[in-house]
Chain A
Amino acid sequence: MKSRGLVLACAFAVTTAVGANAQEPFYEGKRLDVLINYSAGGSTDIEGRLVAKHLAKHIPGHPEVIVRNMPGAGGLVATNHLGEAAAPDGLTVSYFTAVYEYQLLEDPALTIDLRDLEVIGGVEGVPINYIRKDAAPGIENPEDVVNAEPFLAAGLRPTISKDLLIRMSLDLLDVPHRVITGFKGNAPARQAVQQNEVQFYSETIPAYMSVVVPTMVEPGIVVPLYQHEVWRDGKPMGGEGVPDSIPTFYDLYKQMKGKEPSGQLWEAYDTINRLSTRMLRLIALPPGSPPEAVDDLRQALADLAKDEEFQRDAMKSLNFVPVFVLGEEAEAVMEEQLNISDEMRQFLENYVAEASAN
């Protein structure tokens, strides 16, 4: 906390010094680097480049915007870089797939506190879970999953949000399954579903709509089961752009179990879901960045959300329009959800360890 105060003081000193010609917008004549924590061509990158391209015109002073990729260790390398090494000059902004689970599990590989970042906003990313129709005894509708015989679900790594959400939701529904971890990404996992090596997987909306639907849903190989709910104004909702016919996990649970979900497993699921589904991507500046930069970027993001040209472009290239969670709300979601009890942390650690033990 002390260092945070110091950084803020320094930032204040710097900004008052610059403040002499306050008329000029902060970003006038500057260059803004958009840092992406995955390599070029991935879904984080394609989305980030699109946002970067349209963001510039909403920032007062119209800075030149350059996209840079810093992949590594599941996004951790760039996240640590932003929190520790990047200069707090307002000229480096992240477009990250966020790594909340590392903070929840207090993994030492994450060397910063995500709450120290100057949050500009977040972007929703709703995962849609799908299963092969020929998984025994045959599945046509989401409700059929309750009768399913044991099946295999694909997973990437037992500690990440994606795997946790898959396991937790299937465990909550009491559906017999085994998660096969160790696929090297969405593409190999998707391939394994096509080959019937595994039967169940989950992908977020851009990949689901643009790749899974034409290659697997339309040919009748898989059927969508449920999407993870997004909490807006205290209500569980379906994702923007996801077909209404796909129920939320919350609704499916209520329908199948006849009661509201509750208990420790549900709470753990809910924490991870509220973070990683509502704010899959994290747009932030390094700790202690100038307040003008934070304000200008937050305003620019709010304007971008209403930009019709951006929406058209997004629809064309991503098949959906990113839904932003703006400044203060995004900050509040992180403050609230990242603050978990020791008991909950212990529960999560045990739950992860169970998967690693087999």
Chain B
Amino acid sequence: MFDALLSGASLVFVWPAPALLLAGICIGLCLGVVPGLSGLTGMSILLPYTFTMETGPAMAFLLGMFSVTTTSDTLASVLLGVPGTAASQATILDGFPMAQRGEAPRAFGAAFTVSAIGGVLGALGLALSIPIVKPLIMSFAAPEFVMLGLLGLVMVGSLSGRSILTGLAAATFGLLISMVGYAPQGAIPRYDFGFIYLLDGLPLVPVVLGLFAVPEIIDLSRHGRSIARDRPSSENRATLFDGVKDAGRNWWLVLRCGALGTYIGMLPGLGGAIVDWIAYGHAVQTSRNNDNFGKGDVRGVIAPETANNAAKGGALIPTLVFGIPGSPPMAILLGAFLIQGLTPGPAMLSYHLDVTMSLVIILVIANVLGAIALMIWSKQLARLAYVPGRMLVPGVTLFVLMGAWMTGNQMGDWITLVAFGGLGVVMKRAGWSRPAFILGFIIGPIIETSLHLAMQIHGFSWLTRPACLVLGGIVVLTVATSVYREVKKRRAKTEADAAPKRASDQWISGDPPSVAATSAILGLIVAAGAAFAVWRSFEWPWDSRFFPLFSAAPLVLLALGAAVRDAATLRDRPVGVASLAGDWRDGATLLWLTAIVLLSYLIYQPLAIVLAMASYTLIALKGRWKLALAQAVCGWLILVFVFGRLGGVLWHPTLISF
């Protein structure tokens, strides 16, 4: 093993591998920063350049890039409340509130430290678990995935936000939306309404960007203030180093989330989009004092950021040893291996062990260097939190639009973005948990596909498989603990509330009336939609109908329940139409986004985006034409050269051409 480590090192440290490793790290850091771009984008762009390289440099380049995207994705999640990649969605929950309190540097310090540690743990996990990996991967088939999916789903209790009822409604809503497209059995498209775009189901990235990024753009545009609400005084300012200390103080959580990330990464098909949620849920459930989660608890940043870097080391194992790439980037990496003449299989652990070791070394170096680079760089970037909101809007919009567009180069991606943007705004105002929605949306297909396969292969006997029984036990335990905690919390609350107040003053969680009213209206609309979904499902054979029916039917009740309860709290406090509609600027921003989409049908897409950016600055910042011009020029260069030439983006065909 030691020999292999040495010859592995020689693959990484021989010129030009170190230079390409550094180049890869830089590219990866940039890709992670930009919402919507990720390691997958990087893999597909960089792959062709490795065709002519030797093995060492090629791997250093690709893997160096890939391993740091989940380090730098923290920047957008914390600063903007927009997930930098799908693997850092959970980071928003506590990272963004920290930035709003002016603690962005502290969040960064913690996140970068644990990203590096997580990445190194993942790499060590890769090296150490080689002997035990075979039985682990081989024992996780479809039935176990059903249970893992359920385990993810029951964590919704820790993400439910304002109330359990709206949290469950949001999660079930996410489940139902994930049922769009071909049923797992594959012959019947569901809820496609004749759109070919919907046959594959709704893609994750535009949905996530719509739910999280569009509401932030709208908020920035409305109040025009910077993200950090107040500038902290110099003596109690949270620094990067505070974050590093936070990481040290929570070393046990870091270790657990590192292990969790590595093993989840190892299971093919579960993927990076879910590992952060599981780690976050784990942190909430195992912490004694968990009232602060969701309001800027640094542990809520530490857990997902450790796990998402650790997952990458784990993900290499099934790809290398069994030729089973667990995620699209791994599929490309497998392609890169084949191009290098390296075939996956047991030989990667014997004959080619040096190559495997070189991957471990690359992961370690890239994770450490990436974190150090970001520690230095983030000082400048953290100032973004103090830039007036409206100056950020055009740039953020450009990257959000392109992030969605890169999904499939089709108008459907933008329409999805804007539609879910609208939904995101309403859910945010109604206090419905968007993370719960996303969790349901991601996990729905995992459970449905696995359940379908498990039932076809095993009938009901899969329920008695040992691994399923163990996982099932954990599921039951998790539900029991969250119920127990909820009950305890309620009791404490009623005791505290009982004494002095009059009944009419009591709000369920102190919501302002407009939140309750929006929630009531949203509840009614969702219930109506769910009822329609139930009705539609009766056209299909039972195996295609099962899941839509069993998410839509409870959703009708949950959404109605939420609506009735929220409407009841409004009896004494009427809400004006004006406060419901919100600020006119919100509608204007959403219209502006819609206009970009419509304009792109007519004229060359980059031109439409650049025009929209410039006109926004001219109107919102009252004729600062120099700034508008500068933004337009930068935007144009980025669109045409970075996305168009390097990224291989296919622009929408235009009706009017010059």
Contacts and interface: CB of A to CB of B under 8 A. Distances in A.
Interface in B436-471: 449, 452-453, 456-457
Given A41-B43, A182-B452, A197 B199 contact: no
Contacts of A180: 453, 456-457
Interface stretch (A5-13, A121-129, A214-222, A297-305): A214-222
B445 to A, nearest CB: 9
A67 B43 CA distance: 14
A219 B346 contact: yes
A69 B648 contact: yes
Given A39-B328, A70-B408, A109 B199 contact: yes
A255 interface: no
Contact of A211 (B44, B197, B323, B456): B323
Given A39-B328, A72-B200, A197 B141 contact: yes
Interface stretch (B184-192, B238-246, B395-403, B564-572): B184-192
A356 B449 contact: no
Nearest to A39: B328
A192 B142 CA distance: 8
Interface string A157-197: 11100000000000000000000111110011011101101
Contact of B200 (A41, A66, A73, A190): A73
Given A41-B335, A211-B343, A316-B341, A188 B269 contact: yes
Contact of B410 (A41, A70, A187): A70
B331 A183 contact: no
B47 interface: yes
B187 A157 contact: yes
B386 interface: no
A80 interface: yes
A304 to B, nearest CB: 16
Given A41-B332, A197-B142, A76 B185 contact: no
Contacts of A219: 345-346
A352 B186 contact: no
A180 B450 CA distance: 12
Nearest to B321: A215
A352 B186 CA distance: 11
A53 B49 CA distance: 11
B453 A183 contact: yes
A80 B653 CA distance: 13
B576 interface: no
A218 B343 CA distance: 12
B636 interface: no
B196 A197 contact: no
Given A70-B650, A182-B184, A194-B322, A210 B343 contact: yes
B625 to A, nearest CB: 34
Contacts of A192: 141-142, 453
A218 B457 contact: no
A70 B322 contact: no
Contacts of A39: 44, 328
A326 to B, nearest CB: 25
A181 B186 contact: yes
A40 B328 CA distance: 8
A316 B187 contact: no
B31 to A, nearest CB: 14
A71 interface: yes
Given A69-B44, A73-B199, A215 B453 contact: no
Contact of B409 (A70, A194, A316, A357): A70
A113 interface: no
A87 B653 contact: yes
Nearest to A92: B650
Contacts of B200: 72-74
Given A159-B186, A182-B449, A317-B339, A41 B344 contact: no
B324 A72 contact: no
B274 to A, nearest CB: 15
B578 interface: no
A49 B48 contact: yes
Interface string B91-114: 000000000000000000000000
Given A46-B335, A69-B44, A187-B331, A159 B343 contact: no
A77 interface: yes
Contact of A182 (B44, B410, B456): B456
B408 A72 contact: yes
B185 to A, nearest CB: 5
Interface in A78-115: 80, 85-87, 109, 111
A200 to B, nearest CB: 13
A263 interface: no
A219 B533 CA distance: 49
A318 B338 contact: yes
Given A73-B200, A86-B653, A190 B323 contact: yes
B592 interface: no
B410 A72 contact: yes
A214 B331 contact: no
B36 interface: no
B186 A156 contact: yes
A183 B449 CA distance: 8
A41 B187 contact: no
Contact of B199 (A70, A76, A313, A319): A76
Interface string A39-50: 111100110011
A152 interface: yes
A156 B187 CA distance: 10
A279 interface: no
Contacts of B43: 40-41
B328 A41 contact: yes
Contact of A80 (B196, B409, B453, B456): B196
Given A72-B200, A215-B323, A195 B141 contact: yes
Contacts of A72: 196-197, 199-200, 408, 410
B186 A157 contact: yes
Contact of B338 (A181, A313, A317): A317
Contact of B344 (A195, A215, A357): A215
Given A182-B452, A190-B323, A40 B182 contact: no
B532 interface: no
Given A40-B47, A41-B331, A180-B456, A191 B186 contact: no
Contacts of A53: 48, 51
A195 B135 CA distance: 10
Interface string A57-76: 00000000011111111101
A324 to B, nearest CB: 20
A66 B186 contact: no
B112 to A, nearest CB: 29
4 closest cross-chain pairs (CB), A and B: A40-B44, A41-B332, A157-B186, A214-B345
7 contacts: A46-B339, A72-B197, A72-B199, A158-B186, A187-B331, A214-B344, A317-B339
Given A68-B409, A158-B186, A214-B323, 18 more contacts: A35-B650, A41-B44, A41-B329, A49-B47, A73-B200, A77-B410, A156-B186, A157-B182, A180-B457, A188-B268, A190-B323, A197-B141, A197-B457, A211-B343, A213-B343, A214-B347, A215-B322, A356-B187
Interface of A: 33, 35, 39-42, 45-46, 49-50, 53, 66-74, 76-77, 80, 85-87, 109, 111, 152, 156-159, 180-184, 187-188, 190-192, 194-195, 197-198, 210-215, 218-219, 313, 316-319, 352, 355-357
Interface of B: 40, 43-44, 47-48, 51, 138-139, 141-142, 182, 184-189, 196-197, 199-200, 268-269, 318, 322-326, 328-329, 331-332, 334-335, 338-339, 341, 343-347, 408-410, 449, 452-453, 456-457, 541, 645, 648-650, 653
